[in-house]
Structure 1
Amino acid sequence: MAANTRQPIDIDSAASQCQKVLGYIEKYRADAKEIDRERAVEAAAVLVRLLEQPADAIYKLFLSPTILMAVKTASDLGIFSRLCDGDAFVTCKELATPKGADVQLIERIMRALVCSGFAAERGPGQYMPTRRSKAMTARTVIGLMDSLFVDFLPIIHKTPEFLRETDYRNPEDPTHGPLQYTHKTTSTTWDWLSKRPAALDRFNSFMEGNRAGRSHWAEWFPVQERLLDGAVVNKSPLLVDIAGGRGHDLIKFKQRFPGPHGDLVLEELPAVIDDISNLDEDLRRVKHDFFQPQPIKGARVYYMKHVMHDWSDGNCRIILGHVVDAMERGYSKLLIEEHILPDQHAKELETLRDLIVMVWCPGNERTRQRWTELLESVGLEIQNFWLPDGFGTGIVEAVLKDDRRA
């Protein structure tokens, strides 16, 4: 197929782009700034696109689900754990033995893993781990893989059909989106999850590891200056983590700021709270649906991580309205940890996440302008956008409008 559609390569542009890649790498070598590493990755991707034949790229794109299949199968076979167990190479026969798998099947799976960077070859039929194969042994990464492969992928497959049948309207109804179309239900995503313990467990593990190696927000946000200074101990809770999953963010916040600054409260749906087997006794658990009135009044901080992107603007106004009603003027703050998209030149990962929340919730990621419009519509004023690397995930800090003292 590709041989009949070859196009000339712009060698000069490719050479120029190669110099950009090397320049960012040298900057990252000198300063170890994350933004330079990200820019090097982006520039390298552009270089590949300049060198690759379009027909080859398209062919590989639509064959790429087979890589997902190979990685998932390898995980189920325990291949990544076996690769990382010890310093010696591992043979196909050794990888096949624990599950009694066919050696020829293992050979085929391993070829796919090597091509995609999830294993390395030492010699014919001899394999060593890579950084990617080591990452695939982490519980949260396995949860991410299982959730996306088992629960998200069938929905992604049906989304073009859903959009065609809905005249290509932007999905906004939480009871009628791609997930509901795929599974023939009118339940919201979260009700659908709550009735499926295995899917809920996969999703919670996915969320627990969703920072993808990024630092906790309390490590770069000026917590002392913006939150602790001015907080009154025992007046009300210091921080309410709304829809905080299993409490992983609260735990890390407490580790970072262990002093007696006030109560830390985890709010979640009953099914999630009941699913938590181990949580610090000092962290209060409150069963709460954020579409209902906020039960904790006058907290210093109301914090939400990756909540707003799950919902349309109309639903977000309901959620935020309950928080606004609970906030104390001159004291309370709202912190929203989310992706903050640029108006143009959005990066690949944040763009893919936008499409993922569209098919799953349905929701969307927002630009600075859209964040400003949304929060102002419910009586909030943004004090700052905090972006540790200048892009991607950050904190939107807001107070009640005309609230100058917070």
Structure 2
Amino acid sequence: MSRLNDLAAEIAKSTEEVSEYFSTNNLPQPSFEISAPIDAFATAPSDIQNARTKAIEASIELQQLLNGNVNVMIPDTNASSMRAIYRFKIANQFPIGEEISYSELADRCDLYEHDLRRLIRYAIVRYRVFKEARKGYIQHTAASKLLAESTSIQNVMALIFEETWPANAKSGYSLANDTPLSIYSFLASHPDRAKRFSSSMATTSESGMAALAKLYDWSALSPGSTVVDVGGARGHVSAYLAQRFPHLNFVVQDLPAVVAGSEMSGEDDAVYYVPSDVIDRVTLQAHDFFTPQPIIGAAVYLIRYTLHNWSDAYAAKMLRYLVHAMAPRGQIVVQDHMLPEPGTLSLLREREIRGMDLIMLSLFNSREREEADWAGLFDMADERLKLMSAKRLEEGSASAVIVAALEG
């Protein structure tokens, strides 16, 4: 059989597994209709998730082979239609379940009808956003319904079109915003953008926290030991760990605006809080991690998804302040992305982490790191600081729990 036939067979086999799962469990099939679930696969077991991934990856390769080598290299996405839909809040201009003419919608958006029509018709065929059930009239789909109703999706759109996209186009965030400031300093003077940016990034999955609890031996720490959660927002991760390891105390450190839960921080009080059952063991402390660490001799200094936001020079500076505060047997525990060896992750996972690496470059002038890069960063901070272990959250994961300690 040819590669084309192999891929077609894989798509058919994996898709049949997925479809059978939905049918057997009387679950709604994936759909673009407004009645469709936001994520049909949210509760699907791992074997169905794997079948889904196989079908998607085989579909990508099949499409690329059929398109040919020239078309594979040429970007096929014009995101201007989605940017306009986001910018002019087009999805919010008419109710879910109703239809509207292009003429009336253009009046509501203050756009030329012919421009609106061409933007939406591209979004229909490219992104499944809206549908034209009869000529000249549009209705909502599941995707446009999300754009109209979900604040989190609107924040993601803001991140893409107001922060990431301009930075990619200009090869740098400072160039895109005509400022000598870093992204953090610039956002500090633009509170609305800062809040949207923080909200779009402030997601911590239960599985990620569970992996952190599992992949480091917290139970081996002595009773009463202190864990310092560096850059830990308002304590959601420390609270999770404190509930599972009642012999430990936690100090959560972040900038004053974040710890206070101000509008500038962009954090949601409903998500970032310390539950009453652990409030006596989880303390919030205002601290800038580019200044000397005030907690001396903690058992663990925990840093989650923070170091990848900074170039090596700044990340090493942050680590150096921790080294100066560490006890001889203290450790630094990092949960962060860890680049795979090429070809060792699934196509979708590797695309995701390589794409994130480029976002780090354009937004922060930073990078994602391979295991050897993490070892090099620790050495750059202090030649005594050594990589002790690096464990991926799960097979095929782009993230890892990385442990460093002082040698000698």
Normalising by structure 1, we get a TM-score of 0.74
Contact 1:118 1:133 in 2 (8 A): no
Alignment of 1:92-131 (within 5 A): 92=101, 99=109, 104-119=114-129, 121=131, 123-124=133-134, 125-130=137-142
The SS at the match of 2:168 is: helix
Query: 1:39: Cα distance to partner?
Result: 4.3
1:72 to 61, 64, 83: 83
Contact 1:194 1:200 in 2 (8 A): yes
Q: 2:53 & 2:3 partners in 1: Cα distance?
A: 20
Q: Does 1:189 align with 2:183?
A: yes
- Letter of the aligned partner of 1:348 in structure 2? R
1:348 to 337, 346, 351: 351
Q: Does 1:205 align with 2:205?
A: no
Partner of 1:45: 60
Partner of 2:3: 13
Q: 2:177 & 2:253 partners in 1: Cα distance?
A: 28
Q: 1:26 & 1:297 partners in 2: Cα distance?
A: 57
Alignment of 1:203-282 (within 5 A): 203-209=197-203, 214-223=205-214, 226-233=217-224, 235-236=225-226, 238=227, 240-245=228-233, 247=234, 250-251=235-236, 254-255=239-240, 257-258=242-243, 260-273=246-259, 274=262, 275-276=264-265, 278=269, 279-280=272-273, 282=279
Q: Does 1:369 align with 2:372?
A: yes
Unaligned stretches of 5+ in structure 2? 22-44
Structure 1 pair 208/359, CA: closer, same or farther in 2 (3 Å)? same
Query: 1:208: Cα distance to partner?
Result: 0.9
Query: 1:152: Cα distance to partner?
Result: 2.6
- Letter of the aligned partner of 2:334 in structure 1? I
Q: 1:184 & 1:74 partners in 2: Cα distance?
A: 25
Normalising by structure 2, we get a TM-score of 0.73
Partner of 2:407: 401
> 1:94-125: CA deviations, max 9, x gaps?
76676566655543333222223343537223
Q: 1:136 & 1:15 partners in 2: Cα distance?
A: 41
Query: 1:317: Cα distance to partner?
Result: 1.9
> 1:250-270: CA deviations, max 9, x gaps?
325525753644444332234
Alignment of 1:307-322 (within 5 A): 307-322=306-321
Q: Does 1:90 align with 2:99?
A: yes
Partner of 2:24: none
Alignment of 1:24-39 (within 5 A): 25=15, 31-32=46-47, 34=49, 37-39=52-54
Contact 2:293 2:321 in 1 (8 A): yes
Contact 1:92 1:103 in 2 (8 A): no
Q: Percent identity?
A: 19
The SS at the match of 2:120 is: helix
Q: 1:182 & 1:76 partners in 2: Cα distance?
A: 18
Q: 1:135 & 1:300 partners in 2: Cα distance?
A: 45
- Letter of the aligned partner of 1:90 in structure 2? E
Structure 1 pair 98/329, CA: closer, same or farther in 2 (3 Å)? farther
- Letter of the aligned partner of 2:142 in structure 1? T
Q: 2:232 & 2:148 partners in 1: Cα distance?
A: 25
- Letter of the aligned partner of 1:16 in structure 2? D
Q: 2:312 & 2:250 partners in 1: Cα distance?
A: 28
> 1:39-95: CA deviations, max 9, x gaps?
44333222211111455555553xx2x42x322332344444578x65x35334676
Query: 1:300: Cα distance to partner?
Result: 3.8
1:147 to 159, 178, 201: 159
Contact 2:238 2:252 in 1 (8 A): no
Partner of 2:294: 295
Q: 1:350 & 1:294 partners in 2: Cα distance?
A: 31
Range with bigger deviation, 41-50 or 123-132: 123-132
Contact 1:306 1:337 in 2 (8 A): yes
The SS at the match of 1:180 is: helix
Q: 2:163 & 2:46 partners in 1: Cα distance?
A: 40
1:336 to 334, 337, 354: 334
1:138 to 150, 157, 161: 150
The SS at the match of 1:221 is: helix
Structure 1 pair 401/32, CA: closer, same or farther in 2 (3 Å)? farther
Q: 1:280 & 1:253 partners in 2: Cα distance?
A: 10
Q: 2:326 & 2:406 partners in 1: Cα distance?
A: 8
